[in-house]
């Protein structure tokens, strides 16, 4: 069975050994992803001297923003689509290309920590036809089992379908849900309801901390904060990480792992100490599995972390000069 098939089987409920498969994925990407290979070689790393997943070089998320750099393990003609990072119209957006969404679909379905079951789902979101390059919208489409979509093609909140008759699952970005609070009168959702929120409140006139987001949503929709599920994800990753409102850590699916690096030394942070969050996501088979986020976190083992927030010194746009030089195409 080839590597892709084994990953799909694992994500769909089979068995897998992360330590072994991570090295296979790294070897595959080193061979087929030319920009990533150049990056690894500049760091003196290759499958010949990387013996554990902890040593796999991670690329900063800003690398996905470099023009003319395609971080993919397949030829351009096999590309069927791409996801784009959110941002202002002037900001350079990161692009994550794909030739198939089979691994993304398997990761979404295999990693989600709650099922709709008896719940009536409402998506405070557009459909993928209106937002084709949003990985989150595509995720909602994958999870949909006959739910109602509350944002129309013009981007307006449409409440005609928002009449929860049984325990509801209300899903959307933090911004969309907070905006909904301004348009939907306070309501007590049926007992057993829950809310999915993600993305933080950056972009609103007033910024809210994660705790303030939960407090406002809890009060407005009449459910305990412990029934609010926060998702940590990003366009550059095909897997997601979750925590309920009463929990301290985001938890990762078994085909991922996390590293936290000391901000001064770049070496693994001491237990309980904050540092740069890096994620190894084997669902990223066709691009790069090891990603350095722009977030600061504290590790709790290999698959849980306490998210502290964005690195205040993170580059807002473009890419660091050093990485840009390494990966830029040859002028000839």
pLDDT, tens digit (0-9, with 9 covering 90-100), for 113-147: 887 778 999 999 999 999 999 999 999 999 998 89
User: pLDDT band for position 331 (50/70/90)?
Assistant: very low
> Which pLDDT does position 317 carry in this prediction?
31
**pLDDT recorded at residue 63:** 92
**Is pLDDT of 88 > 90?**
no
Please tell me which residue, 53 or 332, carries the higher pLDDT value.
53
Q: How many residues does the chain have?
A: 332
- At residue 278, what are phi and psi to the nearest 5 degrees? -115, 145
> Which residue do the tokens 């949003």 mark?
134
Q: pTM of the full predicted structure?
A: 0.90
CA dist., res. 304 & res. 296, Å (int): 13
Does domain 3-87+252-327 fall under CATH 3.30.750.24? My reply is no
d(CA 277, CA 291): 9
User: What is the per-residue pLDDT across 286-324, written as a single tens digit (0 to 9) for each?
Assistant: 999 999 999 999 999 999 999 998 876 654 333 333 444
CA 188 from chain centre, in angstroms, equals: 30
For 54, phi then psi, to 5°, come to -65, -15
Question: What mean pLDDT is predicted for residues 35-54?
Answer: 97
- What does the block give as tokens for 67? 């023009």
Q: Does 231 or 86 have the greater pLDDT score?
A: 231
What DSSP element (H or E) covers 29?
A: helix 18-32
Please choose, from the candidates 325, 235, 241, the residue with its C-alpha nearest in 3D space to the C-alpha of residue 288. 235
Q: Where are the domains of the chain?
A: 3-87+252-327, 113-239
pLDDT exceeds 50 at position 101: yes
Q: What are phi and psi of 300, to 5 degrees?
A: -130, 80
Report the C-alpha gap between 283 and 300 in whole angstroms. 22
Tens of pLDDT along 154-213? 888 998 889 898 999 999 999 999 999 998 899 999 999 999 999 875 655 567 888 999
* pLDDT range class, residue 87, cuts 50, 70, 90: low
Q: Residue range 215-236: average pLDDT?
A: 96
């Amino acid at each position: 069975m080839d590597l892709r098939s084994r990953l799909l089987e694992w994500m769909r409920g089979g068995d897998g050994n992360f330590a072994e498969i991570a090295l296979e994925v790294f070897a595959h990407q080193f061979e087929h992803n030319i920009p990533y290979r150049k990056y690894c070689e500049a760091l003196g790393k290759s499958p010949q001297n990387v013996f554990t997943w902890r040593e796999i070089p991670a690329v900063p998320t800003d690398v996905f923003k470099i023009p003319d750099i395609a971080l993919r393990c397949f030829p351009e003609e096999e590309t069927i689509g791409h996801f784009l990072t959110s941002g202002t119209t002037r900001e350079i957006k990161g692009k994550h290309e794909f030739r198939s969404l089979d691994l993304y679909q398997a990761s979404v379905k295999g990693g989600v920590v709650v099922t709709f079951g008896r719940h009536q789902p409402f998506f405070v979101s557009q459909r993928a036809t209106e937002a084709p390059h949003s990985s989150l919208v595509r995720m909602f489409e994958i999870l949909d089992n006959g739910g109602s979509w509350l944002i129309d093609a013009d981007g307006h909140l449409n409440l005609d379908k928002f009449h929860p008759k049984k325990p509801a699952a209300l899903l959307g970005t933090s911004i969309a849900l907070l905006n909904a609070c301004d348009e939907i009168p306070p309501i007590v959702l049926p007992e057993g309801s829950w809310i999915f929120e993600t993305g933080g409140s950056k972009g609103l006139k007033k910024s809210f901390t994660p705790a303030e987001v939960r407090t406002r949503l809890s009060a407005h929709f009449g459910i305990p904060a412990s029934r609010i599920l926060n998702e940590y994800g990003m366009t550059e990753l095909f897997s997601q990480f979750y925590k309920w409102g009463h929990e301290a850590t985001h938890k990762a699916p078994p085909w991922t792992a996390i590293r936290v690096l000391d901000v001064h030394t770049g070496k693994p942070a001491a237990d309980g100490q904050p540092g740069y969050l890096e994620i190894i996501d084997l669902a990223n088979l066709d691009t790069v599995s090891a990603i350095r986020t722009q977030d600061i976190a504290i590790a709790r083992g290999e698959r849980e972390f306490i998210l502290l927030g964005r690195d205040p010194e993170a580059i807002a746009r473009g890419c660091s000069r050093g990485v840009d030089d390494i990966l830029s195409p040859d002028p000839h």
